[in-house]
Amino acid sequence: MRLPALTSTANFLALASHATTARTWQMRQLFAADAQRFPKLTVDAAGLFLDYSKNRLDSRTVGLLLDLARERGVESLRDAMFAGEKINLTEQRAVLHTALRMPRGKALVVDGQDIGHDVHAVLDQIKDFTDRVRSGAWLGYTGKPITDVVNIGIGGSDLGPKMAVLALRSYSHPRLKMHFVSNVDGHDMDAALAQVNPETTLFIVASKTFTTAETMLNAGTARHWFLQSATEADLPRHFVAVSTNQQAVAAFGIDTANMFPFWDWVGGRYSVWSAIGLSLALAVGFGYFTDFLAGAHAMDEHFRTAPLEQNMPVLLAMVGFWNRQFLDAGSLSIAPYHQDLSRFPAYLQQLDMESNGKRVTRSGAVVDTPTCPVVWGECGTNAQHAYFQLLHQGTDVTPIDFIATLRATHDLAGHHDALLANCFAQSEAFMKGKTEEEARADLQALKLSEEEIATLLPHKIFPGNRPSNTILMDQLNPSALGALIALYEHKTLVQGAIWDVNSFDQWGVELGKVLAKNIQAELTGSVQPERHDSSTNGLIVMAKAAQHL
């Protein structure tokens, strides 16, 4: 169905008119005027709690945003996704990462195939394999148990498992050390190989397509390194593959008995739930991997059934849309107040920006509003001591998602209160800021002269009124992590529906890949690069000259 341009819709116009005043509201006043603001603008779901009260909006704004969500067909797109319709229009594919976390016994027929059955058959394969590796029954070519696992993959075949393995560090197997190699830069593989022993290392070659240049080069390097001390016959004990491409796996020389399949209806950035999560299942064990899937499924059920007014992914998405559209927020900063979530911002970058970093609508028209903001971030409190200065006093308004756990999974005294105090203080500071009067009073308390006060005063003012969300969970456990990822996945779908972009393709990554192939041929061959612009030609010539040094 062709949607009308976003800015021409009745509900967008109503919101835009509301925004002319709402965008100037002061959150301090909104909190002062309504003692019920916190209970009104918070929501619980699947073990997560979202506080979106520290945004420049009120219940009427939320009502208008939800009207827009209805008008843009958020519910029908959501239902079409869950039903397995081919909502990835440019690739004619279903989008069914949600099917990967459906409980056993639930059928979902797509193209005549019960994919619920297929998903659980692969989960059984994962259970069997991970049990054997973890127990020590799976032996390397000299009869020793596996001690190191190297996941070779990039993009969605790296970011999800790497983030989740780190996030669930405290649930990990004590013998198994996990490594992730993604970069075509040989320094990445070199560093990993320096830490492992071929006798006790398992390589997982993880690639949906099994054609991705970086992964194929890295996998070839690992194979070559392994064969320096072992034989071809030893490969099956040390190399397994995760892919949708059985032919390419066989052509690479990996026994397809050691291949964990998945399907074209799983997008790369939505694939951690599939066999791409094999490294995670190895690290935490199949039981916790199942909890991880169950946490995501709980969020799926919430997203599918909760009224929009209490629907956490919808609310998170619509608040984000409001900030992007009406506060001109060109970026979104993610601040996990949990060290083990240090890779979560990087994971969200792919999820959000590869999904919604689009400039044409599903029907090919150029969009008439900005789309996905730049997503970035770093663990609090480290971020506070690096770039929070800009967020507090810089010229742009950057919304922040604070993510924290109410309880720690360690028992070191004093740390968790200090961490939470920082998290809550930052969201308060961004919201309240510091007025001129308050800044002056602080300086007067220091008994400074009037001249000194006048000099310092402008630097001590914080404009405040800067929006943030706070997402809390009890502890960072497998289920909560599953729910958190699913929350952001569904947020992405909702925003994609509002902007009417296809959140499930990624054509924008193709051009560079093709050009890199051409340039690589020039770098390694004798052809002089004359067909590029003078900059690209010049850079290639420099690199070729350096090869002869």
Check the CA dihedral 508-509-510-513 and report its sign. positive
Number of residues located near ligand G6P, criterion CB under 6 A: 14
Q: Min. distance of Cβ 220 from ligand G6P in angstroms?
A: 14
Largest CA distance in the chain: 83
Q: Min. distance of Cβ 268 from ligand G6P in angstroms?
A: 3
Instruction: Compose the 455-494 pattern: x for residues touching ligand G6P by CB under 6 A, - for all others.
Output: ----------------------------------------
The answer to whether the CB of 362 falls within 8 A of the CB of 500 is yes
Q: Min. distance of Cβ 342 from ligand G6P in angstroms?
A: 20
Using CA atoms, how far apart are residues 514 and 516, in angstroms rounded to an integer?
Answer: 5
Q: What is the 3-state secondary structure (H, E, C) of 7-19?
A: HHCHHHHHHHHHH
Examine residue 279 and tell whether it contacts ligand G6P (CB under 6 A).
Answer: no
Nearer to ligand G6P, 215 or 405 (CB): 215
Nearer to ligand G6P, 161 or 467 (CB): 161
Instruction: With contacts defined by CB under 6 A, name the span among 62-70, 152-160, 183-191, 488-496 that binds ligand G6P.
Output: 152-160
Site for ligand G6P in 210-249 (CB under 6 A): 212, 215
Q: Min. distance of Cβ 272 from ligand G6P in angstroms?
A: 11
Instruction: With contacts defined by CB under 6 A, name the span among 43-51, 81-89, 150-158, 440-448 that binds ligand G6P.
Output: 150-158
Examine residue 207 and tell whether it contacts ligand G6P (CB under 6 A).
Answer: yes
Site for ligand G6P in 340-379 (CB under 6 A): 354
Examine residue 208 and tell whether it contacts ligand G6P (CB under 6 A).
Answer: yes
Examine residue 156 and tell whether it contacts ligand G6P (CB under 6 A).
Answer: yes
Nearer to ligand G6P, 112 or 512 (CB): 512
The answer to whether the CB of 212 falls within 8 A of the CB of 510 is no
Exactly one of 33, 421, 454, 509 binds ligand G6P (CB under 6 A); which one?
A: 509
Tokens linked to 91: 């690739």
Phi, psi angle pair for 209, to nearest 5°: -85, -25
Using CA atoms, how far apart are residues 480 and 48, in angstroms rounded to an integer?
Answer: 7
| Beta-sheet pairing, 48-51 with 468-473 | antiparallel
Q: Min. distance of Cβ 256 from ligand G6P in angstroms?
A: 17
Ramachandran region, residue 40 (left: φ > 0; alpha: ψ -120 to 50; beta: rest): alpha
3-state percent helix, strand, coil for the chain, nearest multiple of 5: 55, 10, 30
For residues 305, 308, 310, 315, the Cα torsion angle rounded to the nearest 10 degrees is: 120
Nearer to ligand G6P, 209 or 475 (CB): 209
Nearer to ligand G6P, 116 or 155 (CB): 155
How would DSSP label each residue in 16-84?
HHHHHHHTT--HHHHHHH-TTHHHHTEEEETTEEEE--SSS--HHHHHHHHHHHHHTTHHHHHHHHHHT
Instruction: With contacts defined by CB under 6 A, name the span among 62-70, 206-214, 384-392, 445-453 that binds ligand G6P.
Output: 206-214
Nearer to ligand G6P, 268 or 482 (CB): 268
User: Which residues does the annotation mark as catalytic?
Assistant: 354, 385, 513
In the numeric block, the tokens 């099917």 are attached to 99
Core vs surface per residue 394-419: b (16+ CB within 10 A) or e? eeebbbbbbbbbeebeeeeeeebeeb
Nearer to ligand G6P, 208 or 432 (CB): 208
State the residues that interact with ligand G6P by CB under 6 A: 154-157, 207-209, 212, 215, 268-269, 354, 506, 509
